Every structure is written in structure tokens, then in C-alpha cells.
Amino acid sequence: MASPPDDRVPSWSLWRGRPGGVRETLWAQLTGRFDPEAVLREAQAPAAGPGAWVSLADLPDDRVVERRWQGRPVAIARRGSQVWVFDGTCPHGGGPLGEGDLVGDTLVCPWHGWAFRLEDGTCTIPGASPVERIAARVVDGQVVVGSA
């Protein structure tokens, strides 16, 4: 099968297991976490670039959530007024880091328990691949991502 021009092609995202795909939707339905209104809101939202992106008030404290940024899933961890943004896919097994847990100063993948340091994305397992950390800060109650 030829690759589509980008990840916005819905049928391609279904096969790749991307957020909004069949695998994620079925899992959300089975676990009782499916929110069709949230799926519609995300589909209608413009692609975010550098600058104000999401309100700090919309992020649960001491938790990790998954959001989309520049067409890809990202994991956002929040503790009080601090936020850390990471690539949403675990480099080990492709697990959804946005469904992980905060344990101490680490983000833990829900699939195999790999832990990544919040400060720099390095894995606590020596020699393991780090997860990409995306620059972010809070300005006037808004999470600002990138060089804005």
C-alpha cells in the first residue's frame, strides 16, 4: 500500500493505531472512557503550532493526559503550575504515554512500565532510548509550546 501524503488521512490513521483510530476507539469503549464529543472537538480544532495551546485549568493536576499537537499525539504531565510535554508514543513498544502515570519525577508508560525523567525525557533503564521532550512553559494560565 502506498503511503498517504500525511497523517491527516483518516483511513491511514486507523491502520497505524493513531489516536482516533479503531484500536484506540475500541479500547476507550471497552474501558468506559469513550467520549464522542471530545473526538468531535479534537477533529474540529485547528492544528496547533508554537504559541498558546491549551489552558492550564483544562489539565488535571498530578496526572498525564494525551492531546494532539502539530498532528501528532503528545503526553502532557502537570504538577501544580509546572507542565512537561513529551512525544506521545513510547520509544520502547509504542505505548500511549498520555495514558501513563506520574511516579516521583518520572512518566511511566502504561504498557511495559518504562519510566522517563520529566526533566529531560531520559529513560531510567541504562542504554534505553529517551522520549522526545517538547519545550513548553506556562504563561498567563496558558501552556505555551515551542518558541513563542
Give the tens place of pLDDT for each residue, 66-112: 998 888 899 999 999 999 999 999 999 899 999 999 999 999 999 99
* Grid cell digits, residue 126: 541504562
What's the whole-number average pLDDT of the chain? 78
> What's the predicted TM-score (pTM) here?
0.66
Q: Residue 5's pLDDT is what?
A: 43
State the Cα–Cα distance between residues 6 and 125, nearest whole angstrom.
33
Burial class (CB in 10 A: 0-12, 13-18, 19+), 64: buried
State the Cα–Cα distance between residues 138 and 76, nearest whole angstrom.
12
Q: Residue 54's pLDDT is what?
A: 87
Tell me which CATH code domain 47-145 carries. 2.102.10.10
Of residues 12 and 71, more confidently modeled: 71
Q: What does the pLDDT look like over 22-78, one tens digit per residue?
A: 555 666 666 666 666 665 555 545 444 455 678 999 999 999 999 988 888 999 999
- Please, which residues have CB within 8 angstroms of residue 139's CB and are 6 or more apart in sequence? 52
Q: Residue 69's pLDDT is what?
A: 86
Asked if 65 contacts 32 with a C-beta cutoff of 8 angstroms, the reply is no
Asked if 73 contacts 98 with a C-beta cutoff of 8 angstroms, the reply is yes
Q: Residue 146's pLDDT is what?
A: 76
Amino acid at 124: T
CATH 2.102.10.10 region(s) of the chain?
A: 47-145
